[in-house]
Amino acid sequence: MNNKISPTSSFLNPDRYFSPDISIRSIARDLYAGTKDLPIVSPHGHTDPRWFAENLPFTDPAHLLITPDHYVFRMLYSQGVGLEKLGIPRLDGGSVEEDPRQIWQLFSQYYYLFAGTPVGAWFDHVFAEVFGMSENLTPENSESFYNTIDTALRTPDFLPRNIVDRFKIEVISTTDDATHTLAHHQVIQDSGWGGKVIPTFRPDGVSNIIHPDWRTNINALGELVGTELTTYSAFINALQIRREFFKNMGATSTDHGVATPLTMELSALEAETIYSKALNNSITAEDTIRFSGHMLMEMARMSIEDGLVMQIHPGSFRNHNEYVFKHFGGDKGADIPIQTEYTRNLHALLNRYGNDQRLKLIVFTLDETNYARELAPLAGHYPALKLGPAWWFNDSIEGMTRFRELTSETASIYNTVGFNDDTRALLSIPARHDLSRRVDANYLAGLVATHRIELGTAREMSQALAYDLVKSAYNL
Protein backbone atom coordinates (compact mmCIF):
# COMPACT_ATOMS: atom_id res chain seq x y z
CA MET A 1 0.00 0.00 0.00
CA ASN A 2 1.26 3.47 -0.90
CA ASN A 3 1.56 5.64 2.22
CA LYS A 4 1.34 8.91 0.27
CA ILE A 5 -1.72 10.34 -1.38
CA SER A 6 -1.15 9.77 -5.08
CA PRO A 7 -0.90 12.93 -7.19
CA THR A 8 -3.97 13.57 -9.32
CA SER A 9 -4.95 15.71 -12.27
CA SER A 10 -6.69 17.93 -9.74
CA PHE A 11 -9.15 20.70 -10.59
CA LEU A 12 -7.76 22.52 -7.55
CA ASN A 13 -5.45 25.44 -8.23
CA PRO A 14 -2.01 24.79 -6.69
CA ASP A 15 -1.90 28.41 -5.51
CA ARG A 16 -5.23 28.30 -3.71
CA TYR A 17 -5.43 30.49 -0.58
CA PHE A 18 -2.20 32.29 -1.50
CA SER A 19 -2.12 36.04 -2.10
CA PRO A 20 -2.66 37.33 -5.67
CA ASP A 21 0.39 39.56 -5.03
CA ILE A 22 3.16 37.64 -6.78
CA SER A 23 5.82 38.87 -4.35
CA ILE A 24 3.91 37.25 -1.48
CA ARG A 25 2.66 34.26 -3.45
CA SER A 26 6.14 33.15 -4.53
CA ILE A 27 7.33 33.15 -0.90
CA ALA A 28 4.17 31.33 0.22
CA ARG A 29 4.87 28.62 -2.34
CA ASP A 30 8.36 28.18 -0.89
CA LEU A 31 7.12 27.98 2.70
CA TYR A 32 4.28 25.61 1.88
CA ALA A 33 6.62 23.31 -0.03
CA GLY A 34 8.56 22.84 3.20
CA THR A 35 5.51 21.75 5.23
CA LYS A 36 3.01 20.12 2.88
CA ASP A 37 4.42 16.61 3.31
CA LEU A 38 5.06 16.74 7.06
CA PRO A 39 3.24 14.11 9.13
CA ILE A 40 -0.13 15.08 10.58
CA VAL A 41 -0.49 15.37 14.34
CA SER A 42 -4.15 15.43 15.39
CA PRO A 43 -4.18 15.92 19.18
CA HIS A 44 -7.86 16.76 19.63
CA GLY A 45 -10.74 15.31 17.65
CA HIS A 46 -13.86 13.23 17.69
CA THR A 47 -13.19 10.28 15.42
CA ASP A 48 -14.68 7.01 16.66
CA PRO A 49 -12.11 4.63 18.19
CA ARG A 50 -14.35 1.75 17.11
CA TRP A 51 -13.31 2.43 13.51
CA PHE A 52 -9.67 1.69 14.26
CA ALA A 53 -10.38 -1.17 16.64
CA GLU A 54 -12.62 -3.11 14.25
CA ASN A 55 -10.94 -1.86 11.04
CA LEU A 56 -13.99 -2.64 8.92
CA PRO A 57 -14.87 -0.98 5.59
CA PHE A 58 -17.04 2.12 5.75
CA THR A 59 -20.51 1.29 4.51
CA ASP A 60 -21.09 3.97 1.86
CA PRO A 61 -20.18 7.56 0.89
CA ALA A 62 -23.24 9.17 2.50
CA HIS A 63 -22.81 7.61 5.92
CA LEU A 64 -19.08 8.39 5.89
CA LEU A 65 -19.10 11.96 4.58
CA ILE A 66 -22.54 13.46 5.25
CA THR A 67 -24.62 11.86 8.00
CA PRO A 68 -22.09 12.16 10.87
CA ASP A 69 -20.82 15.65 9.97
CA HIS A 70 -22.79 18.54 11.47
CA TYR A 71 -20.67 21.02 9.48
CA VAL A 72 -22.45 19.59 6.43
CA PHE A 73 -26.03 19.06 7.47
CA ARG A 74 -26.39 22.27 9.50
CA MET A 75 -25.98 24.24 6.25
CA LEU A 76 -28.55 22.16 4.43
CA TYR A 77 -30.92 22.44 7.39
CA SER A 78 -30.58 26.24 7.22
CA GLN A 79 -31.96 26.02 3.68
CA GLY A 80 -34.99 24.00 4.75
CA VAL A 81 -33.71 20.47 4.18
CA GLY A 82 -35.12 18.25 6.93
CA LEU A 83 -32.59 16.21 8.85
CA GLU A 84 -34.74 13.13 8.22
CA LYS A 85 -34.01 13.48 4.51
CA LEU A 86 -30.29 13.31 5.25
CA GLY A 87 -30.59 10.09 7.22
CA ILE A 88 -30.02 11.66 10.63
CA PRO A 89 -31.49 9.23 13.20
CA ARG A 90 -34.47 10.43 15.23
CA LEU A 91 -34.47 9.87 18.98
CA ASP A 92 -37.96 8.38 18.79
CA GLY A 93 -36.92 5.88 16.14
CA GLY A 94 -39.11 7.57 13.53
CA SER A 95 -38.67 7.12 9.81
CA VAL A 96 -35.68 8.73 8.09
CA GLU A 97 -34.13 8.33 4.64
CA GLU A 98 -32.12 5.11 4.56
CA ASP A 99 -31.00 5.00 0.92
CA PRO A 100 -27.45 6.44 0.84
CA ARG A 101 -27.75 7.20 -2.86
CA GLN A 102 -30.79 9.41 -2.23
CA ILE A 103 -28.93 11.20 0.56
CA TRP A 104 -25.93 11.73 -1.71
CA GLN A 105 -28.07 13.02 -4.56
CA LEU A 106 -29.77 15.50 -2.23
CA PHE A 107 -26.36 16.64 -0.96
CA SER A 108 -25.15 17.22 -4.52
CA GLN A 109 -28.18 19.40 -5.27
CA TYR A 110 -27.19 21.72 -2.42
CA TYR A 111 -23.42 21.49 -2.79
CA TYR A 112 -23.34 24.98 -4.30
CA LEU A 113 -24.12 26.32 -0.81
CA PHE A 114 -20.59 25.50 0.30
CA ALA A 115 -18.83 27.64 -2.33
CA GLY A 116 -16.30 29.87 -0.59
CA THR A 117 -16.73 28.12 2.76
CA PRO A 118 -14.18 25.97 4.60
CA VAL A 119 -16.48 22.95 4.21
CA GLY A 120 -16.37 23.43 0.47
CA ALA A 121 -12.60 23.68 0.60
CA TRP A 122 -12.36 20.46 2.61
CA PHE A 123 -14.70 18.55 0.31
CA ASP A 124 -12.99 19.76 -2.86
CA HIS A 125 -9.67 18.58 -1.43
CA VAL A 126 -11.13 15.18 -0.50
CA PHE A 127 -12.72 14.74 -3.92
CA ALA A 128 -9.58 15.73 -5.83
CA GLU A 129 -6.70 14.49 -3.71
CA VAL A 130 -8.22 11.40 -2.11
CA PHE A 131 -10.55 10.13 -4.83
CA GLY A 132 -8.95 11.63 -7.95
CA MET A 133 -11.92 13.65 -9.18
CA SER A 134 -11.13 16.23 -11.84
CA GLU A 135 -14.29 18.34 -11.64
CA ASN A 136 -16.68 19.91 -9.16
CA LEU A 137 -19.56 17.91 -7.69
CA THR A 138 -22.89 18.69 -9.39
CA PRO A 139 -26.30 16.99 -9.49
CA GLU A 140 -25.41 15.79 -13.00
CA ASN A 141 -22.22 13.94 -11.99
CA SER A 142 -23.46 12.97 -8.54
CA GLU A 143 -23.96 9.31 -9.39
CA SER A 144 -20.50 9.05 -10.93
CA PHE A 145 -18.96 10.60 -7.80
CA TYR A 146 -20.91 8.22 -5.59
CA ASN A 147 -19.87 5.15 -7.57
CA THR A 148 -16.20 6.14 -7.60
CA ILE A 149 -16.15 6.74 -3.85
CA ASP A 150 -18.23 3.65 -3.08
CA THR A 151 -15.86 1.46 -5.11
CA ALA A 152 -12.83 2.96 -3.35
CA LEU A 153 -14.33 2.33 0.09
CA ARG A 154 -14.46 -1.38 -0.70
CA THR A 155 -10.70 -1.61 -1.24
CA PRO A 156 -8.06 -2.30 1.44
CA ASP A 157 -6.59 1.20 1.03
CA PHE A 158 -9.72 2.65 2.61
CA LEU A 159 -9.87 0.52 5.71
CA PRO A 160 -9.66 2.91 8.69
CA ARG A 161 -6.14 1.94 9.77
CA ASN A 162 -4.85 2.16 6.21
CA ILE A 163 -6.40 5.62 5.84
CA VAL A 164 -4.42 6.77 8.89
CA ASP A 165 -1.24 5.32 7.37
CA ARG A 166 -1.99 6.75 3.95
CA PHE A 167 -2.57 10.24 5.29
CA LYS A 168 0.64 10.09 7.35
CA ILE A 169 -1.28 10.72 10.57
CA GLU A 170 1.39 10.29 13.21
CA VAL A 171 -1.02 10.43 16.12
CA ILE A 172 -4.77 10.95 16.38
CA SER A 173 -6.76 11.47 19.57
CA THR A 174 -10.35 10.72 20.39
CA THR A 175 -12.45 12.50 23.02
CA ASP A 176 -13.84 10.21 25.69
CA ASP A 177 -16.13 10.60 28.70
CA ALA A 178 -14.69 9.95 32.15
CA THR A 179 -16.84 6.81 32.32
CA HIS A 180 -15.62 5.29 29.05
CA THR A 181 -13.97 1.91 29.48
CA LEU A 182 -11.62 2.65 26.54
CA ALA A 183 -12.18 -0.93 25.40
CA HIS A 184 -11.65 0.01 21.76
CA HIS A 185 -8.36 1.68 22.60
CA GLN A 186 -7.27 -1.50 24.31
CA VAL A 187 -8.10 -3.50 21.17
CA ILE A 188 -6.06 -1.05 19.09
CA GLN A 189 -3.09 -1.36 21.43
CA ASP A 190 -3.30 -5.15 21.42
CA SER A 191 -3.62 -5.39 17.63
CA GLY A 192 0.03 -4.84 16.77
CA TRP A 193 -0.87 -2.06 14.33
CA GLY A 194 1.69 0.72 14.29
CA GLY A 195 -0.84 3.57 14.27
CA LYS A 196 -1.16 5.72 17.37
CA VAL A 197 -4.73 6.42 18.55
CA ILE A 198 -4.93 7.95 22.01
CA PRO A 199 -7.85 8.96 24.25
CA THR A 200 -8.57 12.38 25.73
CA PHE A 201 -10.15 12.65 29.17
CA ARG A 202 -13.38 14.69 29.07
CA PRO A 203 -15.11 14.78 32.47
CA ASP A 204 -17.99 17.14 31.60
CA GLY A 205 -20.60 14.45 32.14
CA VAL A 206 -19.61 14.13 35.81
CA SER A 207 -18.14 17.56 36.59
CA ASN A 208 -21.13 19.50 35.23
CA ILE A 209 -23.75 19.03 37.94
CA ILE A 210 -26.59 20.22 35.68
CA HIS A 211 -25.78 17.69 32.96
CA PRO A 212 -29.09 15.87 32.26
CA ASP A 213 -27.44 12.49 32.93
CA TRP A 214 -25.28 13.64 35.84
CA ARG A 215 -26.63 11.23 38.46
CA THR A 216 -26.43 8.29 36.06
CA ASN A 217 -22.88 9.26 35.15
CA ILE A 218 -21.88 9.60 38.81
CA ASN A 219 -23.20 6.12 39.50
CA ALA A 220 -21.25 4.75 36.52
CA LEU A 221 -18.10 6.52 37.68
CA GLY A 222 -18.53 5.02 41.14
CA GLU A 223 -18.88 1.53 39.69
CA LEU A 224 -15.69 1.96 37.68
CA VAL A 225 -13.64 2.93 40.74
CA GLY A 226 -15.39 0.49 43.07
CA THR A 227 -17.00 2.88 45.53
CA GLU A 228 -20.17 4.92 45.94
CA LEU A 229 -19.50 8.59 45.35
CA THR A 230 -21.57 9.90 48.23
CA THR A 231 -19.06 12.60 49.21
CA TYR A 232 -17.19 15.28 47.33
CA SER A 233 -13.83 13.88 48.43
CA ALA A 234 -14.78 10.45 47.06
CA PHE A 235 -15.78 12.13 43.78
CA ILE A 236 -12.45 13.94 43.47
CA ASN A 237 -10.57 10.74 44.26
CA ALA A 238 -12.54 8.94 41.53
CA LEU A 239 -11.61 11.60 38.98
CA GLN A 240 -7.94 11.23 39.87
CA ILE A 241 -8.17 7.46 39.47
CA ARG A 242 -9.77 7.81 36.06
CA ARG A 243 -7.24 10.39 34.92
CA GLU A 244 -4.47 7.97 35.81
CA PHE A 245 -6.25 5.20 33.89
CA PHE A 246 -6.55 7.42 30.80
CA LYS A 247 -2.91 8.42 31.10
CA ASN A 248 -1.87 4.76 31.26
CA MET A 249 -3.91 4.21 28.08
CA GLY A 250 -1.90 6.89 26.26
CA ALA A 251 -3.84 10.09 26.99
CA THR A 252 -1.78 13.26 27.14
CA SER A 253 -4.58 15.78 27.65
CA THR A 254 -7.95 16.58 29.17
CA ASP A 255 -10.75 18.63 27.65
CA HIS A 256 -13.39 20.76 29.34
CA GLY A 257 -16.43 22.13 27.52
CA VAL A 258 -17.82 24.88 29.73
CA ALA A 259 -20.30 27.67 29.16
CA THR A 260 -17.86 30.25 30.55
CA PRO A 261 -14.21 30.09 31.62
CA LEU A 262 -15.11 31.34 35.09
CA THR A 263 -12.69 30.01 37.71
CA MET A 264 -12.96 30.25 41.49
CA GLU A 265 -11.64 28.24 44.42
CA LEU A 266 -14.23 27.08 46.94
CA SER A 267 -13.53 25.96 50.45
CA ALA A 268 -13.68 22.23 51.10
CA LEU A 269 -16.89 22.76 53.06
CA GLU A 270 -18.61 24.72 50.30
CA ALA A 271 -17.59 22.22 47.60
CA GLU A 272 -18.88 19.36 49.77
CA THR A 273 -22.13 21.22 50.41
CA ILE A 274 -22.86 21.89 46.75
CA TYR A 275 -21.96 18.32 45.77
CA SER A 276 -24.35 16.99 48.44
CA LYS A 277 -27.10 19.31 47.21
CA ALA A 278 -26.56 18.01 43.66
CA LEU A 279 -26.98 14.43 44.88
CA ASN A 280 -30.25 15.50 46.49
CA ASN A 281 -31.47 17.46 43.45
CA SER A 282 -31.58 20.72 45.40
CA ILE A 283 -28.92 22.86 43.70
CA THR A 284 -29.46 26.47 42.67
CA ALA A 285 -28.28 28.25 39.55
CA GLU A 286 -25.62 29.98 41.66
CA ASP A 287 -24.44 26.58 42.92
CA THR A 288 -23.87 25.32 39.39
CA ILE A 289 -21.86 28.40 38.39
CA ARG A 290 -19.65 28.25 41.46
CA PHE A 291 -19.10 24.50 41.24
CA SER A 292 -18.16 24.73 37.56
CA GLY A 293 -15.60 27.44 38.32
CA HIS A 294 -14.20 25.39 41.17
CA MET A 295 -13.90 22.24 39.04
CA LEU A 296 -11.69 24.07 36.54
CA MET A 297 -9.42 24.95 39.45
CA GLU A 298 -9.39 21.33 40.58
CA MET A 299 -8.57 20.12 37.07
CA ALA A 300 -5.66 22.55 36.82
CA ARG A 301 -4.34 21.28 40.15
CA MET A 302 -4.62 17.69 38.95
CA SER A 303 -2.88 18.54 35.68
CA ILE A 304 0.11 19.88 37.60
CA GLU A 305 0.22 16.64 39.53
CA ASP A 306 -0.24 14.13 36.70
CA GLY A 307 1.11 16.11 33.73
CA LEU A 308 -1.99 15.94 31.53
CA VAL A 309 -2.38 19.00 29.31
CA MET A 310 -5.57 20.92 30.13
CA GLN A 311 -7.81 22.23 27.32
CA ILE A 312 -10.75 24.58 27.87
CA HIS A 313 -13.41 24.99 25.18
CA PRO A 314 -15.80 27.69 26.47
CA GLY A 315 -18.37 29.98 24.97
CA SER A 316 -20.96 27.79 23.26
CA PHE A 317 -24.70 27.92 23.74
CA ARG A 318 -25.23 24.19 23.36
CA ASN A 319 -28.30 22.85 21.58
CA HIS A 320 -29.73 26.28 20.83
CA ASN A 321 -32.43 24.76 18.62
CA GLU A 322 -34.73 23.03 21.08
CA TYR A 323 -36.74 21.31 18.35
CA VAL A 324 -33.64 19.69 16.86
CA PHE A 325 -32.35 18.71 20.29
CA LYS A 326 -35.69 17.18 21.27
CA HIS A 327 -36.05 15.15 18.09
CA PHE A 328 -32.42 14.40 17.08
CA GLY A 329 -30.27 14.97 20.17
CA GLY A 330 -27.06 16.94 20.64
CA ASP A 331 -24.18 17.69 18.26
CA LYS A 332 -26.51 18.50 15.39
CA GLY A 333 -25.07 21.83 14.32
CA ALA A 334 -27.10 23.98 16.72
CA ASP A 335 -24.32 24.95 19.13
CA ILE A 336 -23.96 28.72 18.74
CA PRO A 337 -21.12 31.00 19.97
CA ILE A 338 -21.68 33.47 22.78
CA GLN A 339 -19.66 36.48 23.89
CA THR A 340 -16.97 35.32 26.31
CA GLU A 341 -14.77 37.16 28.83
CA TYR A 342 -11.38 35.75 29.89
CA THR A 343 -9.33 38.30 31.85
CA ARG A 344 -11.51 38.30 34.95
CA ASN A 345 -12.85 34.77 34.54
CA LEU A 346 -9.39 33.15 34.39
CA HIS A 347 -7.91 35.42 37.07
CA ALA A 348 -8.28 32.97 39.96
CA LEU A 349 -6.82 30.02 38.06
CA LEU A 350 -3.92 31.93 36.52
CA ASN A 351 -2.95 33.57 39.80
CA ARG A 352 -3.05 30.22 41.56
CA TYR A 353 -1.39 28.09 38.89
CA GLY A 354 -0.50 30.20 35.84
CA ASN A 355 3.09 30.82 36.93
CA ASP A 356 3.75 27.10 37.39
CA GLN A 357 5.48 25.80 34.28
CA ARG A 358 4.34 22.26 35.05
CA LEU A 359 0.85 23.31 33.91
CA LYS A 360 0.02 23.46 30.22
CA LEU A 361 -3.32 25.22 29.79
CA ILE A 362 -4.66 25.58 26.24
CA VAL A 363 -7.59 27.96 25.86
CA PHE A 364 -9.88 28.06 22.83
CA THR A 365 -12.54 30.60 21.94
CA LEU A 366 -15.52 31.07 19.66
CA ASP A 367 -15.43 34.81 20.37
CA GLU A 368 -12.60 35.94 18.12
CA THR A 369 -13.11 39.59 19.14
CA ASN A 370 -11.26 38.53 22.28
CA TYR A 371 -7.99 37.53 20.64
CA ALA A 372 -6.21 40.89 20.63
CA ARG A 373 -8.02 42.37 23.62
CA GLU A 374 -7.56 39.60 26.22
CA LEU A 375 -6.29 36.22 25.05
CA ALA A 376 -3.09 37.29 23.30
CA PRO A 377 -2.00 39.52 26.22
CA LEU A 378 -2.75 36.73 28.70
CA ALA A 379 -0.83 34.12 26.68
CA GLY A 380 1.95 36.63 26.15
CA HIS A 381 2.47 36.81 29.90
CA TYR A 382 1.56 33.64 31.83
CA PRO A 383 4.00 30.72 31.33
CA ALA A 384 1.25 28.10 31.70
CA LEU A 385 -1.16 29.56 29.14
CA LYS A 386 -1.18 28.83 25.40
CA LEU A 387 -3.76 29.74 22.76
CA GLY A 388 -5.60 27.03 20.91
CA PRO A 389 -6.04 27.56 17.16
CA ALA A 390 -9.06 29.16 15.55
CA TRP A 391 -11.86 26.84 16.54
CA TRP A 392 -15.14 25.76 14.99
CA PHE A 393 -16.97 28.72 13.40
CA ASN A 394 -13.61 30.49 13.02
CA ASP A 395 -11.88 27.34 11.67
CA SER A 396 -11.76 28.83 8.18
CA ILE A 397 -9.47 30.55 5.73
CA GLU A 398 -10.40 34.02 6.95
CA GLY A 399 -10.68 32.95 10.59
CA MET A 400 -7.21 31.40 10.61
CA THR A 401 -5.75 34.53 9.03
CA ARG A 402 -7.46 36.78 11.58
CA PHE A 403 -6.18 34.54 14.39
CA ARG A 404 -2.58 35.02 13.24
CA GLU A 405 -3.03 38.76 12.69
CA LEU A 406 -4.70 39.36 16.06
CA THR A 407 -2.41 37.25 18.25
CA SER A 408 1.07 37.00 16.76
CA GLU A 409 2.33 40.47 17.53
CA THR A 410 1.41 40.24 21.22
CA ALA A 411 1.79 36.55 22.03
CA SER A 412 4.07 35.38 19.16
CA ILE A 413 3.34 32.15 17.37
CA TYR A 414 5.33 30.35 20.07
CA ASN A 415 2.58 30.88 22.62
CA THR A 416 0.14 29.09 20.31
CA VAL A 417 -0.11 25.34 19.72
CA GLY A 418 -0.18 24.84 15.98
CA PHE A 419 -3.31 23.39 14.41
CA ASN A 420 -5.77 20.69 15.40
CA ASP A 421 -8.68 19.57 13.26
CA ASP A 422 -11.27 18.82 15.98
CA THR A 423 -13.32 16.70 13.57
CA ARG A 424 -15.47 13.58 13.29
CA ALA A 425 -14.85 13.46 9.53
CA LEU A 426 -11.84 11.20 9.05
CA LEU A 427 -11.29 11.90 5.36
CA SER A 428 -11.27 15.67 5.89
CA ILE A 429 -8.27 15.59 8.23
CA PRO A 430 -5.55 16.03 5.56
CA ALA A 431 -7.69 18.67 3.83
CA ARG A 432 -7.97 20.70 7.00
CA HIS A 433 -4.27 20.47 7.82
CA ASP A 434 -3.38 21.36 4.25
CA LEU A 435 -5.58 24.44 4.41
CA SER A 436 -4.00 25.49 7.70
CA ARG A 437 -0.49 25.05 6.31
CA ARG A 438 -1.35 27.12 3.26
CA VAL A 439 -2.91 29.91 5.31
CA ASP A 440 0.08 30.04 7.65
CA ALA A 441 2.49 30.02 4.70
CA ASN A 442 0.65 32.96 3.18
CA TYR A 443 0.63 34.88 6.47
CA LEU A 444 4.34 34.38 7.03
CA ALA A 445 5.07 35.23 3.40
CA GLY A 446 3.47 38.62 4.03
CA LEU A 447 5.86 39.20 6.94
CA VAL A 448 8.82 38.34 4.71
CA ALA A 449 7.59 40.50 1.84
CA THR A 450 7.28 43.49 4.16
CA HIS A 451 10.75 42.78 5.60
CA ARG A 452 9.53 42.05 9.12
CA ILE A 453 11.21 38.64 9.21
CA GLU A 454 13.82 36.89 7.08
CA LEU A 455 12.96 33.99 4.80
CA GLY A 456 15.00 31.56 6.90
CA THR A 457 13.08 32.60 10.01
CA ALA A 458 9.79 32.17 8.16
CA ARG A 459 10.77 28.63 7.20
CA GLU A 460 11.46 27.80 10.83
CA MET A 461 8.15 29.35 11.91
CA SER A 462 6.26 27.49 9.18
CA GLN A 463 7.72 24.18 10.37
CA ALA A 464 6.81 25.07 13.95
CA LEU A 465 3.21 25.91 13.10
CA ALA A 466 2.69 22.77 11.02
CA TYR A 467 4.37 20.25 13.31
CA ASP A 468 6.70 21.27 16.14
CA LEU A 469 4.37 23.37 18.32
CA VAL A 470 1.60 20.78 18.51
CA LYS A 471 4.06 18.02 19.40
CA SER A 472 5.51 20.12 22.21
CA ALA A 473 2.21 21.51 23.51
CA TYR A 474 0.55 18.11 23.84
CA ASN A 475 3.61 16.19 25.04
CA LEU A 476 3.56 13.92 22.01
Each residue of 170-182: pLDDT tens digit?
A: 999 999 999 999 9
Which pLDDT score, from 0 to 100, does residue 171 have?
Answer: 98
Mean of pLDDT values over 436-448? 98
The candidate with the shortest Cα–Cα distance to 387, out of 376, 395, 398, is: 376
Q: How many CB atoms lie within 10 A of CB 450?
A: 10
Confidence of residue 262 (pLDDT cuts 50, 70, 90): very high
Task: Inform me whether the pLDDT recorded for 4 exceeds 60.
Answer: no
Q: Which fold has domain 57-158?
A: uronate isomerase, domain 2, chain A (1.10.2020)
CA 185, CA 48: separation in Å to the nearest integer? 10
Task: Inform me whether the pLDDT recorded for 7 exceeds 50.
Answer: no
Q: What percent of the chain has pLDDT over 70?
A: 98
CA 90, CA 68: separation in Å to the nearest integer? 13
- Do 161 and 55 touch, CB atoms closer than 8 A? yes
Q: What percent of the chain has pLDDT over 90?
A: 96
CA 18, CA 21: separation in Å to the nearest integer? 8
Task: Inform me whether the pLDDT recorded for 2 exceeds 80.
Answer: no
- Of the ranges 1-5, 74-78, 183-187, 207-211, which one carries the lowest mean pLDDT score? 1-5
The candidate with the shortest Cα–Cα distance to 445, out of 5, 17, 3, 10, is: 17
- Delimit the domains of the chain by residue range: 22-54+168-473, 57-158
Which pLDDT score, from 0 to 100, does residue 11 have?
Answer: 79
What Å distances lie between residue 158 and 64, 133, 137, 266, 428, CA to CA? 11, 16, 21, 51, 14
Which pLDDT score, from 0 to 100, does residue 156 have?
Answer: 97
In tens, the pLDDT along 326-369 reads 999 998 999 999 999 999 999 999 999 999 999 999 999 999 99
The candidate with the shortest Cα–Cα distance to 216, out of 162, 261, 143, 278, is: 278
Which pLDDT score, from 0 to 100, does residue 240 have?
Answer: 98
The predicted model scores a pTM of: 0.95
- Do 225 and 243 touch, CB atoms closer than 8 A? no
Which pLDDT score, from 0 to 100, does residue 173 have?
Answer: 97
Mean of pLDDT values over 203-207? 98
Task: Inform me whether the pLDDT recorded for 6 exceeds 60.
Answer: no
Mean of pLDDT values over 268-276? 98
CA 26, CA 445: separation in Å to the nearest integer? 8
CATH class of 22-54+168-473: alpha beta
Which pLDDT score, from 0 to 100, does residue 40 have?
Answer: 98
Mean of pLDDT values over 26-36? 98
- The gap from C-alpha 36 to its chain's centroid, in whole angstroms, comes to 21
Q: Which residue has the higher pLDDT, 470 or 69?
A: 470
Where is 255: in which H helix or E strand? Answer: strand 253-258
Mean of pLDDT values over 11-34? 96
Mean of pLDDT values over 82-94? 96
Task: Inform me whether the pLDDT recorded for 410 exceeds 50.
Answer: yes
Instruction: Give the burial string for 53-84 (b: 16+ CB within 10 Å, else e).
Output: bebeebebbbebbbbbbbbbbbbbbeeebebe
Q: Which residue has the higher pLDDT, 3 or 42?
A: 42
Q: What is the mean pLDDT of the chain?
A: 95
CA 113, CA 80: separation in Å to the nearest integer? 12
Which pLDDT score, from 0 to 100, does residue 181 have?
Answer: 97
Mean of pLDDT values over 86-112? 96
Task: Inform me whether the pLDDT recorded for 10 exceeds 80.
Answer: no
CA 388, CA 402: separation in Å to the nearest integer? 14
The dihedral region occupied by 308, where left means phi > 0, alpha psi between -120 and 50, and beta the remainder, is beta
